[in-house]
Amino acid sequence: MKEKFFIERKKTKKIHVGNVSIGGGSRISVQSMTSTSTLDISKTVEQIRLLKKAGADIVRISVPTIHSVESFKEIKRKVDIPIIADVHFNYRIALKVIQYGADCLRINPGNIGNYEKIRMIVESAKDANIPIRIGVNSGSLEEKIKRLYGGPTSEALVDSAMRQVDILDKLNFDRFKISVKSSDVLIAMKAYRLLSERTDQPIHLGITESGSRRDGSVKSAIGIGSLLLDGIGDTLRVSLADNPLEEVKVAFSILSSLKIRSRGIQIVACPTCSRKEFDVIEVVRNLEENLSDIECPIKISIIGCIVNGFGEAERSDIGIVGKRKRSILFNKKEKSKRYVDNNELLRILEFEIRRIIRDKNDQKKHDILIRSHLSKKVEKS
């Protein structure tokens, strides 16, 4: 029997970033941020397209100078994914990117300026009907708040955010989401939990400046994963000092591990020992690389021997169990198993996985056609 799990998400207000709904029970969205110079339009557009292909729902772009505003306008015109403009220090940049079609604006209470500047930004966002993210960060917290709390503590991050919320409330603006990020996982987790108790606005999760691919992935999995288990979070970004495509991959790994949202291949593989009958690590590495284009969720088990192999194969769409010279290939849907030569294992496994994906996609198209046909019949009657 398949064990079922349910995460009760906190109900938050719904806003929209372009055509992506956030909060209010909407699907948890995955964000990333470009690492290119915004002045380099072609490279930035290419990276955005790759991020979309990898599964990102929303992409954020830094707009650091007035000169980069014109580049932002051109970039926005060339892509078809919601774009968030990331603005610090200069409120005039914020006003300009709103005018140029930003789908959302990220501002930092620690450096965006006084009440009058925020008021101008909010009025412009109202006119354009776009949301704002209040993005509090431990590295740029207001000095007066740091002095009050003795540093960028969890309480300090939430205080900064709620002061900004009070301003937006006074300006009668409720289309906003909030983040309270820290590079310290425990501080960030506590801050997000405190924030969730004080607001019903959508919450954007993230561990800021989390580090390299390895360390950043671990920190993000612990921090973001724990909060998601608590039902906190409507959208997320994994921040890595690496190619932003890796951020999207790790984000989906976190969501998939919690059975919240799946995309592409999910591989269950043994860490290997002397019992292995084929090179598990090499097979896994090749599958991840060769099947990176797959969007349809599929679970694959790659186990090097018979100890745990059969049990894992039963819970996967397709699985391989290592045996000497010839391993056993399982197909869950077809309820079949067959022997394959170990020197042909990778080629056959990849072929069978793509065949399963093709069948799933064909079935999906068939189901859509049937639903469309039934809908038309209902309309006629």
**196 in a domain, yes or no?**
yes
Contacts of 60 (CB under 8 A, 6+ apart): 31, 32, 33, 34, 83, 84, 85, 86, 106, 237
**120 in a domain, yes or no?**
yes
Q: Are 61 and 75 in contact (CB under 8 A)?
A: yes
Q: What residue numbers does the annotated binding site cover?
A: 270, 273, 305, 312
Tens digit of each residue's pLDDT (9 = 90 or more) over 79-98: 999 999 999 999 999 999 99
The bridge status of strand 235-237 relative to strand 326-331 is: unpaired
Is residue 358 predicted with pLDDT exceeding 70? yes
Smallest Cα–Cα separation from 107: which of 29, 155, 160?
A: 160
**378 in a domain, yes or no?**
no
**42 in a domain, yes or no?**
yes
The bridge status of strand 265-269 relative to strand 318-321 is: unpaired
Query: Are 44 and 88 contained in the same domain?
Result: yes
Query: Are 211 and 74 contained in the same domain?
Result: yes
Domain final residue, candidates 258, 288, 314 = 258
Is residue 194 predicted with pLDDT exceeding 60? yes
DSSP 343: G
335 vs 101, higher pLDDT: 101
Helix (H) or strand (E) holding 282: helix 280-290
Is residue 374 predicted with pLDDT exceeding 80? no
Contacts of 251 (CB under 8 A, 6+ apart): 30, 32, 220, 236, 237, 238
Crossing angle of the two packed helices 280-290 and 345-380, in degrees rounded to 10: 40
Q: What is the rounded distance in angstroms from the CA atom of residue 194 to the CA atom of residue 185?
A: 14
Is the pTM higher than 0.85? Answer: yes
> And the tokens for 140?
């740029």
Containing domain of residue 342, as a range? 265-366
Q: What is the rounded distance in angstroms from the CA atom of residue 330 to the CA atom of residue 337?
A: 4
Crossing angle of the two packed helices 154-170 and 115-128, in degrees rounded to 10: 60
Instruction: Give the pLDDT score at 5.
Output: 83
Q: What residue numbers does the annotated binding site for [4Fe-4S] cluster cover?
A: 270, 273, 305, 312
**Cβ atoms within 10 A of the Cβ of 366, count?**
10
